[in-house]
Amino acid sequence: VRPVRITMPVDDRPRTAEMPIGNGTRLVEVTFGPEEREAHETLTASGAPDHRAIARMLRATSARTRALKSENRPQLGFGGDLLTKPVLPVGVRAAYV
């Protein structure tokens, strides 16, 4: 079973008085593996929601997002960065977008 990936914008700007104005976001892919797939039934079941399962999923997502935010990565993610590099003609790059 392949992992589920969601793309999320994260803000890289420092939260200080010197915080620059403008768009300081970049895209990161947050990956969900087998442990989250196991929780799928609980999270999507009809009836009252399982608040503990929801809290676990939110904590896992937050932890992964914080870890990805702290890494030095391209603004558009690795795939977007590759497609915007002028190593191939524009027509070839456009075919993959």
Structure confidence by residue, pLDDT tens digits, 4-25: 778 788 877 767 777 667 667 7
Which range of residues forms the domain containing residue 87? Answer: 4-95
pLDDT at 58: 87
| Strands (E) located in the chain | 4-11, 25-32
Label residue 75 by pLDDT band (50, 70, 90). Answer: low
Report the number of distinct structural domains present in the chain: 1
Contact 48, 66 (CB under 8 A): no
Query: For residues 65 and 17, what is the distance between their CA atoms, to the nearest angstrom?
Result: 24
